[in-house]
């Protein structure tokens, strides 16, 4: 088995869930480091430099998963998959706004989590191999090679999916794209999340990139980058 898949930090206080995830991820060749609290999770990410973090929202102690995500985003763009309790819509939306890349709702199958992990890492790697390509939209630059967005030359920190969405819109500039087209194009056809995920990410892009981004809402359809 290929054991060069890199490290994944699993932050989850429920040992049964953490052990199950570790078992399945190890089978795929990942090295897994577990953390039971938010503080330990942050320390593990700092020490281990993982390729991805699986992060439960409900954690004991003063630092829950949402706070961990918030703190991670101020220092790193490591992909984050959040584990949320069933029907915790608020947590899901908040998690995405805080820069989580994806979420999985409990109860989940470990296979589903592994599939999400692989999809996110594949996307991150795939884009790294593409040739240098900078799309300029007014004062906003989308740099695919560096996976960096800049406003007036200043880099703006975007979550993985936020960048992917911006890039997809930039590559399809002038076209009105439906939320479903954006889900298929950015999250992949196998992703079965809800269309509001697109709205959450659009809101983040507008907030982070400001008025320099000519991103129009097309009523009854979706969005268009002008
Ligand atoms: Ca928990």
Taking the centre of ligand 1 as the mean of its atom positions, its distance from the CA of residue 84, in whole angstroms, is 9
Residues 6+ apart with CB under 8 A from 219: none
Sheet containing 222-225: give its strands across.
177-178, 222-225, 215-218
Which of the listed CATH numbers 3.40.50.1980, 1.10.10.10, 3.40.50.300, 3.90.420.10 matches domain 134-225?
1.10.10.10
Taking the centre of ligand 1 as the mean of its atom positions, its distance from the CA of residue 14, in whole angstroms, is 6
Where in the chain is CATH 1.10.10.10? 134-225
Taking the centre of ligand 1 as the mean of its atom positions, its distance from the CA of residue 45, in whole angstroms, is 18
Taking the centre of ligand 1 as the mean of its atom positions, its distance from the CA of residue 192, in whole angstroms, is 24
Where in the chain is CATH 3.40.50.2300? 7-125
Residues paired with residue 177 on neighbouring β-strands, in sequence order: 223
Superfamily of domain 7-125: Response regulator (3.40.50.2300)
* Nearest-angstrom CA–CA distance, 8 and 209: 30
Taking the centre of ligand 1 as the mean of its atom positions, its distance from the CA of residue 107, in whole angstroms, is 12
| pLDDT grade for 145, boundaries at 50, 70 and 90 | confident
Closest to 44 measured CA to CA, from 32, 52, 33, 59: 33
Q: State pLDDT tens for residues 148-203.
A: 999 988 999 999 999 999 999 998 888 899 999 899 889 887 777 788 899 999 99
Residues 6+ apart with CB under 8 A from 226: 173, 174, 214, 215, 216
At 87, phi and psi to the nearest 5?
70, 10
For β-strands 52-56 and 7-11, DSSP reports them as parallel
Q: State pLDDT tens for residues 11-49.
A: 999 999 999 999 999 998 899 999 999 999 999 999 998
pLDDT computed for residue 53 by the predictor: 96
Taking the centre of ligand 1 as the mean of its atom positions, its distance from the CA of residue 116, in whole angstroms, is 19
Average pLDDT score, the chain: 87
Residues with CB under 5 A from ligand 1 (ion): 13, 56, 58
């Amino acid at each position: 088995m290929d054991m060069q898949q890199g490290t994944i930090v699993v932050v989850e206080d429920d040992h049964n869930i953490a052990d199950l995830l570790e078992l399945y991820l190890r089978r795929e060749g990942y090295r897994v480091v577990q953390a039971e609290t938010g503080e330990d999770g942050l320390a593990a990410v700092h020490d281990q430099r993982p390729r991805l973090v699986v992060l439960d929202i409900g954690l004991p102690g003063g630092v829950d998963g949402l706070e961990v995500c918030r703190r991670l985003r101020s220092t790193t763009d490591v992909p984050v998959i959040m584990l949320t309790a069933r029907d915790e819509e608020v947590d899901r939306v908040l998690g995405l706004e805080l820069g989580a890349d994806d979420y999985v709702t409990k109860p989940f199958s470990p296979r589903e989590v592994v599939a999400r992990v692989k999809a996110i890492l594949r996307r991150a790697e795939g884009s790294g191999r593409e040739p240098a390509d900078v799309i300029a939209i007014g004062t906003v630059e989308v740099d695919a090679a560096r996976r960096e967005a800049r406003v007036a030359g200043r880099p703006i920190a975007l979550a993985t999916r936020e960048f992917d969405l911006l890039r997809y819109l930039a590559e399809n500039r002038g076209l009105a794209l439906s939320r479903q087209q954006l889900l298929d194009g950015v999250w992949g056809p196998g992703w079965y999340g809800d269309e509001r995920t697109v709205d959450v990410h659009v809101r983040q892009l507008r907030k982070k990139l400001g008025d320099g981004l000519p991103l129009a809402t097309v009523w009854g359809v979706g969005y268009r980058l002008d």
